[in-house]
Amino acid sequence: MIPRAALVTGGAGFIGSHLVARLLGEGCQVTVLDDLSMGKRENVPSAARLVIGDVRDREAIDDALAGVDVVFHLAARVSIRASVAGFYSDAETNLMGTLNVLSACGEHHVRRFIYASSMAVYADSPQPTPLSEEYEPRPISPYGVAKLACEQYAQLVGAQLGFDTAVLRYFNTYGPRQTFTPYVGVITIFVQRLLRGEPPLIYGDGNQCRDFVHVDDVVDATVRAMTTNERATVFNVGSGQGMTVNQIAALLCARLRPDIKPEHLPEHPGELRNSVADITRANQQLGYRPRVRLEDRIDEVIAWNRGA
């Protein structure tokens, strides 16, 4: 059953704004809480209510939660690399901000809390084989540590405060409206560099394998988690297929600048070597089936970046 009203924290951002549009299309009243540090006001559909504020600000959260049944908590500092040096600010927003939202959800009698976690909670894998939700949770970055802690808090606190919890571990999401930063979204970063006539920069040998999943598929899984009867369940959200960073760079160079070759730099600490999702649980329990092939939709990402 679609809820009467939902809150999307981080709803002016990349994934959040796509989720807001989908929820509105399902007939849901939507409130967005976003501090606009990364998200953009123009990403928020006019039919949604926008509360400009930080997840660490209890007054803003209380305002945003008025009349809400379901909370989608997507607001976060999303950068594995930046979290290594900035571990305090990462935890301040990603951990303490989440606890602030959880506390308020209990007081506002929210029915369901859906937490956007990350593949970064997993231990590194020696092989690019799909990882199930039972794979060892041993993050190698401060970002992953905070995300794993939030998963556990959400499930524990939700049970204590009387609301159901679903945890979604997003893998490498791509698509239109992804804000360019030097740290997040390798596809967007490579496209931006190639549009400027600069080579893609690959950290390490480029054979690290990732699961690239389109934002439309991520949103579909997220909406499905809103209505599942499962309690406190963790789901991988990916394509179930792996591609190396070298393959991504070669694909984009061929589309944009065949005359440019990638450059390799020393690898960064804190980044997983192999990260591919086993999506069996999401398929069986949510009916989730990713429908987008990267090769079929990469041109829309390029077009959006040209106009950004």
Residues taking part in catalysis: 143
**Torsional sign, CA 229, 230, 234, 236:** negative
Phi, psi of 30 (to 5 degrees): -130, 130
Residue 160 burial by Cβ neighbours in a 10 Å radius (0-12, 13-18, 19+)? exposed
Angle between helix 14-25 and 215-227 (nearest 10): 50
Report whether 272 contacts 238 (CB < 8 A): no
Q: Are strands 164-170 and 172-174 parallel, antiparallel or unpaired?
A: unpaired
Distance of alpha carbon 70 from alpha carbon 48, whole angstroms: 15
Token pair in block for residue 280: 């069996």
Report whether 194 contacts 259 (CB < 8 A): no
Note the Cα 146 to chain centre separation in Å: 14
Which residues, at least 6 apart from 25, have a Cβ–Cβ distance to it below 8 Å?
A: none
Phi, psi of 5 (to 5 degrees): -150, 140
